Amino acid sequence: MIGTQQVDQPWAGYASYAQLYEQASDRTRKLPFYLCTPTNFRISDYDSSMPTRDRLFNSLLKRWNHYSNLPFEPDIIKAIYPSEYHIHSEIATDSRSKFIGSVGHITFNILGDLMPSTIKQINTLASFSLYSGIGRKTPMGMGQTFYAQPTTTSHMPRPKPSLKPSLKPSLKPKVVIS
């Protein structure tokens, strides 16, 4: 099968590990992620839906180092800090169980005086998230993540709307037309 990447289809793409690295920025310090399906992390014997720096980037780093021939040092994530977020929890259900995960957006910033090669590695991991997913249960569709690089924001997919009713009361008056 031959595929062609479509600019207006941000979920369809292909890239080798070397291409991901070569195309990554060595200057971009803002890393906006959209968690589009419930994202969950295994912590010892328990699950956590909170996408902290360590959980999110260690998930990416572990997969990158396992599958690519371009391993990165684990300490590259020390310069990454969360800057803004708007997330909520949702439940994903399969035939045997339910999993709680985070959905929404979270932005991390790369801080400090770093070598451009380190910034490039961090941006490579961010781009890799489209292909690897983040957290656990990615083969069943959890942890689907879109890294909104500055060049892709015009065609960025939006997280699916929440299936839960809003807990905030409506401030608009109800209008009934009879």
Domain boundaries, the chain: 17-148
Predicted pLDDT at 166? 35
Q: What is the pLDDT of residues 75-88, one digit of tens each?
A: 999 999 999 999 99
Please, which pLDDT band fits residue 168 given cuts at 50, 70 and 90? Answer: very low
- For residue 152, pLDDT over 70 is answered with no
Give tens-digit pLDDT for 87-136: 999 988 878 888 889 999 999 999 999 999 999 999 999 999 999 999 99
Q: What percent of the chain has pLDDT over 90?
A: 56
**pLDDT at 56 > cutoff 90:** yes
The more confidently predicted of residues 164 and 71 is: 71
pTM of the full structure: 0.79
107 and 84 Cβ atoms separated by less than 8 Å: yes
Q: Which residue has the tokens 């990416």?
A: 60
The CATH classification number of 17-148 equals 3.30.70.1900
Environment class of residue 53 by beta-carbon count within 10 Å: exposed (0-12), middle (13-18) or buried (19+)? Answer: middle
Q: Is 76 helix (H, G, I), strand (E, B) or coil?
A: helix
Rounded average pLDDT over 48-77 = 94
Give the model's confidence band at 6: pLDDT under 50 very low, under 70 low, under 90 confident, else very high. Answer: low
Residue spans of alpha helices (H) in 68-178: 116-132
Report the alpha-carbon angle 33-157-139, nearest 5. Answer: 70
Q: What is the DSSP string of 7-53?
A: TT-TT-----HHHHHHHS-SS--EEEEEEEEEE-EEETTEEE----H
Whether the Cβ atoms of residue 115 and residue 121 lie closer than 8 Å to each other: no
